[in-house]
Amino acid sequence: MGRPAEGARILQKGDSMIRVDHRELAGGALMTIIGCAFAISSVRGLEIGTAYRMGPGFFPVVLGGLLAVLGLSQMALAARLGSASVAPIPWRGVFFTCLGPVVFGMTIRGLGLAPALALTTAAAALASPEVGVKRLVLTVTGITLFCLLVFHVGLDLPIVLIGPWLGEY
């Protein structure tokens, strides 16, 4: 067996080793606490309604509950048999994934929906080190067109396609 991951503690249990990863345990606990707090605050402040007639608090309660369940499952998986190594943090992916929503928020009013979607999709696609120019162009084109069909044509959102920075349309 290899060395345990940093932050993990090995406990003896019979003939097998149980690895308790305290970072996973803490992350799961944090997700559970946030999910429960979100659900409880929604229940206290918003009308829930029923599954047939959903109130404004129904969706936040469901999302908070799902987050709490995911946190509980992560806590349960924090104790695993054997040992595992910790992979390095993919900083490129973290950077570009966080950059996408920021770019969208900063450009939606000035550039309009179409260019903001294209830039956001490009930022998200660049999170993968395996993306080449051809795949980037195809991804940006496909996702931008799909989102325009859904949000501009299908839902008829009142957002300009091309904003004032590019000559409003």
Which domain covers residue 158, as residue numbers? Answer: 91-166
Q: How many domains does the chain have?
A: 2
What's the pLDDT at 1?
Answer: 47
Choosing from 81, 105, 124, the residue where a domain stops is: 81
The helix (run of H) or strand (run of E) holding residue 21 is strand 16-21
**DSSP 8-state symbol, 127:** T
Contact 107, 154 (CB under 8 A): no
- The verdict on 74 and 100 lying in the same domain is no
Strands, DSSP E only, in 61-131? 79-81
Evaluate whether residue 86 is within a structural domain.
Answer: no
Evaluate whether residue 50 is within a structural domain.
Answer: yes
Residue 7: left if φ>0, alpha if ψ -120 to 50, beta else—which one? Answer: left
Evaluate whether residue 139 is within a structural domain.
Answer: yes
- The verdict on 122 and 160 lying in the same domain is yes
Structure pTM?
0.57
For residue 82, the SS3 value is: coil
- The verdict on 13 and 54 lying in the same domain is yes
- The verdict on 98 and 162 lying in the same domain is yes
pLDDT in tens, 33-88: 999 998 999 889 888 888 888 888 898 999 999 999 999 998 888 877 544 566 78
pLDDT in tens, 108-131: 999 999 999 999 999 999 999 888
- The verdict on 45 and 102 lying in the same domain is no
